[in-house]
């Protein structure tokens, strides 16, 4: 067990009963340090190991699109978990009540949880910690270099975090422990009724389910292998071209924990793609993603104006009353009714496909800042739309992407402009220098 991944969430001592793993962010059986650690503890103590997941209604504005993707992935994960002799309990309701309730019912001697920097998740964990009388541990199976280990404070930029990650990356970039079958105990395996769980949850149906991408750990692995074989070799050359689409397409799988970032890092590192392509992709996968976890972990205002750097807040304030050439309401943005066909196409791409090209995400959010009545409205509009339509919404990456675009987070001051102040500006003309804008717009209008 890698001790650097473990953090104590209470000071209680272990009890004699079973070990329970509360799965939440890492919804997979393979490459899951927390599940492997729970199983290892149970084996050492000769007690059964149980796995639980708590379905929380309307998690941060999630709709049918997200719950359907998550539950289908989870259903397959549960099959794999059951095959290893592990029972899986599907709870419904407020996790801060339901998880301790199950722990009491099982007379668990220890509970292990996933690391997750989001406020709501931390509230669930805090309530669980209060209610549990036995050992409660957290394991970080999300970050290749564990978030709490790599830094003890909010990092200023990718530069400062990269230095820290680089120093110890090699000691974490190795195969995670395999999942061994539980043969020392034979707890009863509950039979789950997924359809009625989804029916009781009744998520918002106005954001429809997507046919693609397919959910689940197997689909995730296939997507990773195809990316490495077919697109990674060109990643460093074409990653900013939405027409080329050399992006990995892995972010929904990483968001729902159907694939471990460490697995992707290992496979990319071992691939025969050019070093420049591997380095460019690993920068996004490790440094940028882990910078997002670092920000959300150390800054409780990660999705609010108060979290933005002082220089950016001051500068945006100075330009608060600047004339806006165009001004749109959140509803007009949502309906893709702006004067800019590129912006509308990016928005439609997200609404129809649940994803948006990484380069366009920046342009999209910066234009929301330029055409909203205030920076605060812009930040909230961008977060709401991303959480509502993107499959990988409600993620540290999304909150940080918006804060970078509208509030200069992890960036530096640039030349002064109306509305933006010294926050970096992006223009459609700049996009046209990087890729064929009209071709992209047409490709999206063909989709809808
Ligand atoms: N995590 C849970 O533990 N229970 C849920 O019911 C749940 C729903 C959910 C819906 C959409 C979504 O995007 C995420 C959801 N998550 C849920 C959380 C997710 O696993 C991630 O941990 C965070 O969103 C990102 O850190």
Write the pLDDT tens digit of every residue in 128-171.
999 999 999 999 999 999 999 999 999 999 999 999 999 999 99
Q: Mean pLDDT for the chain?
A: 97
Q: How far does residue 59's CA lie from ligand 1's centre (Å)? A: 6
pLDDT digits (tens, 9 = 90+) for 243-257: 998 999 999 999 999
Contact 5, 27 (CB under 8 A): no
Q: How far apart are CA 137 and CA 424, in angstroms?
A: 41
CB distance 141 to ligand 1 below 6 Å: no
Q: How far does residue 241's CA lie from ligand 1's centre (Å)? A: 30
User: How much is the pLDDT for 61?
Assistant: 85
Q: Is 67 exposed, middle or buried (0-12, 13-18, 19+ CB in 10 A)?
A: buried
Residue 40 confidence class, pLDDT cut points 50, 70, 90: very high
CB distance 313 to ligand 1 below 6 Å: no
How many of the other CB atoms lie within 10 Å of CB of 78? Answer: 24
pLDDT at position 21 over 80? yes
Q: Which of 70, 75, 88, 399 to mutate to test the pocket of ligand 1 (most atoms within 8 A of CB)?
A: 70
DSSP category for residue 233: G
CB distance 388 to ligand 1 below 6 Å: no
Give the residue from 103, 51, 57 showing the smallest Cα distance to 79: 51
Instruction: Compute CA distances 18 → 5, 7, 109, whole Å.
Output: 21, 20, 5
CB distance 54 to ligand 1 below 6 Å: yes
Q: How far apart are CA 119 and CA 302, in angstroms?
A: 9
Residue 60 confidence class, pLDDT cut points 50, 70, 90: confident
The share of the chain scoring above pLDDT 90, in percent, equals: 98
CB distance 342 to ligand 1 below 6 Å: no
Ligand 1 atom at minimal distance to the Cα of residue 23:
3
* Closest Cα to atom 8 of ligand 1: 59
Torsion sign (Cα): 367, 372, 376, 381:
negative
With residue 88 as reference, give the H or E element that holds it: strand 88-92
Contacts of 295 (CB under 8 A, 6+ apart): 154, 155, 302, 307, 396, 399, 400, 403, 409, 410
pLDDT at position 217 over 80? yes
Instruction: Compute CA distances 446 → 49, 335, 346, 352, 356, whole Å.
Output: 51, 17, 13, 12, 16
* Average pLDDT of span 390-394: 97
Q: How far apart are CA 10 and CA 100, in angstroms?
A: 13
* Closest Cα to atom 2 of ligand 1: 24
End-to-end Cα separation, the chain, in angstroms: 49
CB distance 395 to ligand 1 below 6 Å: yes
């Amino acid at each position: 067990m890698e001790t650097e991944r473990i953090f104590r969430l209470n000071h209680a001592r272990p009890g004699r009963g079973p070990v329970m793993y509360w799965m939440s962010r890492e919804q997979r059986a393979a490459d899951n340090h927390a599940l492997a650690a729970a199983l290892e503890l149970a084996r050492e103590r000769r007690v059964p190991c149980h796995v639980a997941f708590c379905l929380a209604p309307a998690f941060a504005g999630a709709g049918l699109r997200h719950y359907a993707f998550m539950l289908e992935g989870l259903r397959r994960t549960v099959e794999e978990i059951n095959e290893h002799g592990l029972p899986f309990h599907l709870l419904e309701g407020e996790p801060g009540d339901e998880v301790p309730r199950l722990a009491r019912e099982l007379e668990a001697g220890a509970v292990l949880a996933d690391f997750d920097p989001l406020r709501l998740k931390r509230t669930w964990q805090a309530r669980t910690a209060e209610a549990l009388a036995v050992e409660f541990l957290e394991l970080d199976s999300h970050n290749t270099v564990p978030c709490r280990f790599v830094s003890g404070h909010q990092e200023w930029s990718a530069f400062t975090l990269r230095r820290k990650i680089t120093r110890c990356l090699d000691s974490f970039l190795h195969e995670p422990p395999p999942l061994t079958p539980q043969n020392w105990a034979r707890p009863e395996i509950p039979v789950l009724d997924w359809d009625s769980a989804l029916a009781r949850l009744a998520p918002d149906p106005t954001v429809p389910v997507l046919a693609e991408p397919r959910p689940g750990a197997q689909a995730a692995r296939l997507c990773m292998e195809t990316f490495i074989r077919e697109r990674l070799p060109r990643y460093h050359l074409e990653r900013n071209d939405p027409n080329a689409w050399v992006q990995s397409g892995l972010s929904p799988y990483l968001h729902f924990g159907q694939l471990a970032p460490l697995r992707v890092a290992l496979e990319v590192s071992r691939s025969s793609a050019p070093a420049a392509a591997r380095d460019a992709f690993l920068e996004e996968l490790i440094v940028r993603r882990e910078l997002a976890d670092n920000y959300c972990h150390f800054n409780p205002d990660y999705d609010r104006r108060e979290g933005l750097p002082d220089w950016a807040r001051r500068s945006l304030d100075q330009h608060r009353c600047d004339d806006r050439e165009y001004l749109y309401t959140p509803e007009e943005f949502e309906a893709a009714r702006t004067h800019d066909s590129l912006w509308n196409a990016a928005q439609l791409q997200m609404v129809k496909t649940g994803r948006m090209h990484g380069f366009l995400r920046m342009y999209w959010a910066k234009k929301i800042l330029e055409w909203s009545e205030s920076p605060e409205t812009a930040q909230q509009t961008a977060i709401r739309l991303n959480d509502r339509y993107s499959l990988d919404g409600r993620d540290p990456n999304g909150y940080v992407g918006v804060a970078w675009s509208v509030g200069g987070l992890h960036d530096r001051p640039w030349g002064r402009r109306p509305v933006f102040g010294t926050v970096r500006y992006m223009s459609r003309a700049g996009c046209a220098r990087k890729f064929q804008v009209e071709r992209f717009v047409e490709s999206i209008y063909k989709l809808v």
